[in-house]
Structure 1
């Protein structure tokens, strides 16, 4: 099975450019259309659909108002090879027009993770299995 995850966007090319520059992923050229761009690996395709896709999918009532910030209803996690790769990408995101929401941190499940937003406010995570040397695994955060 291969996962294809799509984001709605007013500018598919801009999001393709952002994620390609941040993560170094190749474009899925065969999938390109006037309203669609995508990045692809052997395991997944990350697609970017322009506004007309709402109508094509029978979702016109779900299209957000033009210029509004979409709510966070889903997010991608890109599993990178190393904690250092997570930290390097987190350092670069602002220069590419994105935003660092939560800097790299250790999770209770032993991953080094950062929470970011792309230039169109879609939230995503970068994560790697394992923690940098000397960083302990925190305890599970219990509610107060």
Structure 2
């Protein structure tokens, strides 16, 4: 199974560029159209739909959110990287590309090094790794 995760975007070119620079992924060239761009790996495709067209094409006209920030967060992607240093570097790339830091990087109670971020269109996502930096311990989950 391959996951395709799509973001409704105001500017598909800008969103495509942001995530390509932050994640270093290749374009899914076969998927490119006038209203769609995507990045991909062997396991997933991250797509950017032109929201002006896609809501109508998908029969979602009544579900289009207002164009205000902060946007409601009802789903988010987590991009798992190899090391805590890669997470820290990705956070810097997000900031350099016009995104912003919501929280972190921080140690989770389940032993990940993680940051919560938002892209330039205020979509929330996480960057994480399944290990902690040397000398950092996982905090206890508060009851």
1:13 deviates by 1.0
SS of 2:27 mapped into structure 1 = coil
Structure 2: stretches of 5+ with no match in the other structure: none
1:63 deviates by 1.2
Q: Matched residues in 2 for 1:79 and 1:110: separation?
A: 13
Structure 1: stretches of 5+ with no match in the other structure: none
TM-score in terms of structure 2 length: 0.95
Q: Matched residues in 2 for 1:49 and 1:141: separation?
A: 39
Q: Matched residues in 1 for 2:49 and 2:86: separation?
A: 28
What do you get for the CA RMSD once the two structures are aligned? 0.9
TM-score in terms of structure 1 length: 0.95
Contact 2:21 2:93 in 1 (8 A): no
In the TM superposition, structure 1's runs of 4+ consecutive aligned residues that sit over 4 Å from their partners are none
What corresponds to 1:124 in structure 2? 125
What corresponds to 1:17 in structure 2? 17
1:55 deviates by 0.4
SS of 1:93 mapped into structure 2 = helix
1:141 deviates by 2.1
In the TM superposition, 1:1-144 aligns within 5 A as: 1-51=1-51, 52-65=53-66, 67-69=67-69, 70-142=71-143
1:76 deviates by 0.3
Pairs aligned (count): 141
